[in-house]
Structures are given as structure tokens and as C-alpha cells.
Amino acid sequence: MDTASSSTAPLHGESAPTIHHGTPAFRRTNLALFAAGFATFGLLYCVQPLMPEFSHDYGVSAAVSALSLSLTTGVLAFAMLFAGALSDAWGRKSVMVVSLLSSAVLVLLTALMPSWSALLVVRTLIGLTLSGLPAVAMTYLGEEMDVESIGLGMGLYISGSAVGGMGGRLITGVLTDFFGWRFGVGVVGVIGVLAGLIFWRVLPPSRHFVAQPLRWRMVLGRFTGMFRDRGLPWLFVEGFLLLGAFVTVYNYLGYRLLAPPYHLSQAAVGPIFGIYLVGTFSSAWMGHLAGQLGRRKVLWTAFALMLVGVALTMAQPLPLIILGIVAITFGFFGGHSIVSSWVGRRAGVAKAQASSVYLFCYYMGSSIAGASGGLFYASHGWNGVALFVGTLVLAGLLIALRLFRLPPLVNVATPPTPMSTGAMP
């Protein structure tokens, strides 16, 4: 059972009320998860605008410099497959708190690393420690939030992610010009520690969490059971395509704008990441809209908007490029809000495992596509990157149209019976 819940929550399980929007518990939950999302994505993506600096300081190519992010997200993807199962046994809140605070400390250490190889080692460890928060946060919301409020709750959590992703990039991007990249990364680490302490203090304890022993056969049965659902596998693919396209654009945007004909400085490129603020609106708004109209009817519009944005980035005028980035960002955060809440609704009792698999695919998209985009940039410049990203987004749009024809959920995915998996009851 969640260690934080035994003394403060008199009701547990089915008898406990869920968290509904407009209540103090809803506000506390969203404050805590906003702080967690802010810290998580600030810690994860603070190196993204620094890739040209890494290329300069360490003499590595754009594709190699991208490993500072791709290694982190790749390890994060694999580790999250197990983070959900650990939270089933150890409690949701405790796993998230340890994950967030340990990751913030490692980011502080990143600023002290003397060599490229040492920096990559620490960034790899960050992927491992950070895994305990994103998957478990989705599971926590799925368990604790009222059905009518989960779309808004997930959207507000992702809003925090948007602000964190913007803040981490903006802080390091701007401070690098004045104090060097190490100082900027150190500031992000300190902010991560403070956000982790706020999260620990404010998040309400779990009231619907029931501890389950780590029976790996049962966990495996839940994983395999999800792939018999008609919708979940396609939603996992959508996560891969969404983040893969989004991260690739932002990975190489700095290289394009620092080069001719723009010749922007790091301090000028950094504020462009302020476009992330668009995500704070689109994630909550599209998540709520999908809850009202149906996720099947809204998801495809997010991909369509991203596709328009990719086309705009191929133009030469800087204002059109910025407008294209706005469209991509709006569509990405809205799409992620819809898909992530949809996964929780379809997964039934396998919420932790479904969240883990979705986020595995999500971050593998960042790792694989984000690194691959460097090859397209090296061979064909920005047009190569745009063509690559456009292909990913078009595939996501076609899948969204397929999901539009998916029948409404009747029976949520359930794990196989103990007899069929060999698991003990």
C-alpha cells in the first residue's frame, strides 16, 4: 500500500471517492503533477538547445551530439516497462518522489562532467532514474481521477510538461550565452530539486491503490493481454510517432537557425522554445474537448495540424517557420493528451502496464527518430528533416483515421486468467 496513504486517507479502494474537478483535492493534485511535469521535462530536455554547443566543445557531429538526449530517452523507454510493476508493489507516490529527486541530483552532476563520455554516462543514468515518474503519473491519474475529470487532469499534467520542456530549454539556451552551458544545466537541476520537494509535500496520497506483489508471470500476462485489444497497439504506435516527430523538429531547429541565412545566437534561439507555452493550452483544451466529443473524433485533427506545421517550416521567411513550429507544438501536445488518457481508459486493470508500454513507445520515438533525423539533416539539410518528420506525421494521421472507425469501448482490456498464464492467483 502507498506508504503515504495509510495514516492520512481513511478510505481506500472502491469505497473511496474519486478526485473531481473543482475540488481542493483536484487543485492539489494538479499543482503537484504540474510541478512534477515541469521538473521531469525540464530535466530531460534541458540539453536539447545545447547540442550545437556540444558539437563545438567536444568536436562531435550533430547526430552524435543528439545522443545526449537520445540515450536518455532510450533508457527511459525500457526502464518504464518495469517502473509500473514496481509501483504496483511499492506505491505510486513513493516511486514518483524518489524518481524525481534522484534525477534532479544527477542533472546537477551533469554540469560537472569533464568529458563527453562521462556526460553521456550521467545522461544515461538520468533515463533510468526518471522512468519512475511519467508512467506512474499516468497510472495515478487513471486510478484517482473521476472519469469526467481525467481528460482535464491529464491535460493539466501535460501542460506542466510543456512548461517544463520550454523552461529547461529556455533557461539553458539563454544562460549559455552569458555564463556557459554548465551554469544553465546547474540552474535546471536546482529547480528540479525544488519542484520535487513541492510534489512530495502537495500530492494527495493514493486512495484507490492496492499493493500487489511482484509476480512477474502475472505482470507478463497483463502485458500480453493488452495486445489483444483492438485499439491499444495502435495507440502505442501513435505515441511513437507523436514524440518522434516533435523531438526531431526541435533537435535540429537550433542548427538551422544558428546557420545562414539566419545567424541567430543561442540567446535568440532559446526564446523560440517559449512556443511550448502553446502546449499548456492545447493539451488541456484538446483533452477536455476529446472528453466531450469523443477521442476518436478529435485525435486526427492534431495530426493534421502538425502536418500543416511541417510544411510551413520548409519556407524561408523566419515568421513562417515560427508559425509552423507553433502548429506542430499545438498539435503534438493536444494529440499526446488525447492518446495518453485514451490508453488509461482502454487498459482496465492493466493501467500501469499499459502506461509503461505507451511511454516505452513514446520515448523510443524520441530516441530513434530524434537520432535518425541527424542523418537527414547531414545529407539534405532542413528539407530532409521536414520530409522525414512529415512521413511520421502522415502515418500518425492515417492511424488516427483508422481509430476513428474503432467501435466505442465495451469491455476494457483485462489480463488473462491465472490458468492461461500460469500465474499464481
- What mean pLDDT is predicted for residues 54-76? 88
Query: Which CATH number do you get for residue 166?
Result: 1.20.1250.20
| Residue 420 falls inside a structural domain | no
Q: What per-residue confidence (pLDDT) applies to 118?
A: 94
Q: What per-residue confidence (pLDDT) applies to 104?
A: 95
- What mean pLDDT is predicted for residues 31-57? 87
Most confident of the ranges 73-82, 94-103, 362-371, 403-412? 94-103
Q: At 424, is the pLDDT very low, low, confident or very high (cuts 50, 70, 90)?
A: very low
pLDDT at 300 over 60: yes
Nine-digit cell string for 409: 469501448
| Residue 18 falls inside a structural domain | no
Q: What per-residue confidence (pLDDT) applies to 218?
A: 61
- What mean pLDDT is predicted for residues 328-341? 90
Mean of the per-residue pLDDT values of the chain: 81
pLDDT tens digits for range 345-360: 776 666 667 877 888 8
| Residue 1 falls inside a structural domain | no
Contact in structure between 30 and 140 (CB atoms under 8 Å): no
| Residue 298 falls inside a structural domain | yes
For 292, counting Cβ atoms within 10 Å of its Cβ (0-12 exposed, 13-18 middle, 19+ buried), the class is exposed
pLDDT tens digits for range 192-251: 999 999 999 988 877 766 666 666 666 566 666 676 777 789 999 999 999 999 999 988
| Residue 424 falls inside a structural domain | no
Distance (Å, whole) CA 28 – CA 21: 11
Nine-digit cell string for 361: 513507445
Q: What per-residue confidence (pLDDT) applies to 357?
A: 84
Nine-digit cell string for 204: 494527495
pLDDT tens digits for range 242-278: 999 999 998 899 889 988 899 888 778 877 777 877 8
pLDDT at 105 over 90: yes
Q: What per-residue confidence (pLDDT) applies to 423?
A: 27
Q: What per-residue confidence (pLDDT) applies to 422?
A: 28
Contact in structure between 197 and 72 (CB atoms under 8 Å): no
Q: What per-residue confidence (pLDDT) applies to 220?
A: 64
| Residue 37 falls inside a structural domain | yes
Q: What per-residue confidence (pLDDT) applies to 352?
A: 67
3-state SS of the chain is: CCCCCCCCCCCCHHHCCCECCCCHHHHHHHHHHHHHHHHHHHHHHCCHHHHHHHHHHHCCCHHHHCHHHHHHHHHHHHHHHHHHHHHHHHCHHHHHHHHHHHHHHHHHHHCCCCCHHHHHHHHHHHHHHHCCCHHHHHHHHHHHECCCCHHHHHHHHHHHHHHHHHHHHHHHHHHHHHHCHHHHHHHHHHHHHHHHHHHHHHCCCCCCCCCCCCCHHHHHHHHHHHCCCCCHHHHHHHHHHHHHHHHHHHHHHHHHHHCCCCCCCHHHHHHHHHHHHHHHHHHHHHHHHHHHHCHHHHHHHHHHHHHHHHHHHCCCCHHHHHHHHHHHHHHHHHHHHHHHHHHHHHHHHHHHHHHHHHHHHHHHHHHHHHHHHHHHHHHHHHHHHHHHHHHHHHHHHHHHHHHHCCCCCCCCCCCCCHHHHCCCC
Q: What per-residue confidence (pLDDT) applies to 95?
A: 87
Q: What are phi and psi of 259, to 5 degrees?
A: -90, 170
Amino acid at residue number 267: A
Beta bridge partners, 19, equal 145
Q: At 86, is the pLDDT very low, low, confident or very high (cuts 50, 70, 90)?
A: confident
- What mean pLDDT is predicted for residues 21-34? 81
Q: At 417, is the pLDDT very low, low, confident or very high (cuts 50, 70, 90)?
A: very low
Nine-digit cell string for 16: 473511496
Q: What per-residue confidence (pLDDT) applies to 355?
A: 76
Which residue range forms the structural domain that includes residue 399?
A: 24-204+217-408
Give the count of domains, the chain. 1
| Residue 418 falls inside a structural domain | no
Q: From residue 236, give the alpha-carbon distance in Å to each of 47, 104, 239, 305, 407.
A: 26, 28, 5, 20, 18
| Residue 249 falls inside a structural domain | yes
- What mean pLDDT is predicted for residues 123-148? 83
Q: What per-residue confidence (pLDDT) applies to 421?
A: 26
Most confident of the ranges 89-103, 161-175, 183-197, 410-424? 183-197
Q: At 16, is the pLDDT very low, low, confident or very high (cuts 50, 70, 90)?
A: low
pLDDT at 110 over 80: yes
- What mean pLDDT is predicted for residues 47-67? 87
